[in-house]
Amino acid sequence: MRKYFGTDGVRGHVGQAPMTVDFALRLASAAARVLAPSGGSVLIGKDTRLSGYMFESALEAGFVAAGVTVLLAGPLPTPGIAYLCRRLRTDFGVVISASHNAYHDNGIKFFDGAGDKLSDDLESAIEALIEEDPITQSSSKLGQAKRIDSARTDYQWFCRSTVADGVDFTGMQVVIDCSHGAAYKVAPRVFSELGADVIPIGCSPNGRNINLRCGSTHPELLQATVRGVGAQIGIALDGDGDRVVMVDENGALVDGDQLIHLLAMDALERGALQGPVVGTVMSNLGLQRSLESRGVTFLRAAVGDRNVLALLKEHGGQLGGETSGHIIDLSRTTTGDGLVTALSVLAVMQSTGRSLSDLTSAMPRFPQILINVRADGRPDLAAAPVRASVGAVEQRLGERGRVVLRASGTEPVVRVMVEGEDESEVRHAAEEIAAAVGAAPVLR
């Protein structure tokens, strides 16, 4: 167990440990010693949170003092930083973002020079140095800091390069919700450049409205807009642009499981699907059964894109992701990229002439109820009442469903998920387990 790094970097409430300026300075100094011990360069990007300026300055100071040159990309989606680490050949990259969380949270996550998330060993090595005082090199060994003015346009070019030559979205009306986040400039321009008639929403960040009643976690406005204007598709990104959910022409929500299924079926038909498809313990059972009925192996990883990626690499797969819309396609990029995923889906629609509702109808969806139980501490999920409740539900469901119980790595909640064939039965079972979790003793 690491003290600071969770499932996706360091994250927390701004002004409370660990999300303070002092910690960010120490983190930068520690990371420099581990990732660029002989100097080198780091690329820093961020989303649109007000606190991003503060943490950007603190990280810049820590890196420069440690002898590392800092390249500042400004607001840019997380996958854009992963790509630019490779393009600019930096030693590593940093993103200042709390993804889908509200603006009062923020986080710091790292990529290595190849655009991959750091290994557990590297994160542990950084943590081991955080408590030490930040270092300051002599003047002759200090790093420098400079802005990368071409960062946004370079990433736009990369996104366009992931679709085949000749792809043209002319005639398609697309509503894009950028969650007032990091993709607010990039996403509308990419689709416009490919010919789409773009209606942007959630593209007016003010530092405090990121993810506020918009984006992939709150798609209601997108659904209403798609229905209202009669668009062919709606696209909702999260605050840092690595997740995407969609809305079909009828205003129905299309989640990550359905998008994975759509892309897997397209790759399978083209003879381009390699290895197994990887989901998580939260992926809908309908996704697994549909893929397996077509001879495609489906594997489940623990929640978290880094776990999905590890399983893909271990088994030689290329496509995987999470229900939340964090989808990885290693044939196109190294990490989850909401914009690249959306482009891939529109390319399938364009090449087949089929609507999104038609393309997603092939995957059956099992009723799945998720309840987030607020947790001030760490509830004892092994307590007898919790185990008894879970056991009783599993016995009733048998092979007709599943139970998943886990503590979130990004929020102070325990997620209770029950899935089965009958929605009423599933809902009752989820509420039963949630009540037991809520009453469980807290571990000290």
Distances (CA, A) of 379 to 2, 304, 428: 19, 21, 21
Alpha helices in 353-422 (DSSP H): 356-360, 384-397
Neighbours of 87 (CB within 10 A): 15
Nearest by Cα to 256 from 145, 363, 116, 332: 363
> If DSSP codes are grouped into helix, strand and coil, which group holds residue 179?
coil
Please say whether the beta carbons of 383 and 405 come within 8 A.
Answer: no
Please say whether the beta carbons of 262 and 348 come within 8 A.
Answer: yes
Please say whether the beta carbons of 114 and 334 come within 8 A.
Answer: yes
Which is catalytic among the residues 41, 99, 290, 389? 99
Question: Hey, what are 181's tokens?
Answer: 């986040």
Residue 199 burial by CB count (10 A; 0-12/13-18/19+): exposed, middle or buried? middle
Distances (CA, A) of 419 to 3, 262, 288, 413, 424: 33, 21, 13, 19, 11
Nearest by Cα to 29 from 21, 147, 140: 21
Question: Hey, what are 195's tokens?
Answer: 């010919």
Strands 105-112 and 92-96: antiparallel
**Residues facing residue 114 across a β-bridge:** none
Q: What does the chain come to in residues? A: 444
For the chain, what is the largest distance between any 2 Cα atoms, rounded to a whole number of angstroms? Answer: 70
Q: Is 99 a catalytic residue?
A: yes
First CA to last CA distance, the chain: 15
Nearest by Cα to 33 from 91, 88, 103: 91
Taking the CA atoms of residue 205, residue 104, residue 79 and residue 323 in that order, the dihedral angle to the nearest 10 degrees is: -110
Q: Which residues are catalytic?
A: 99
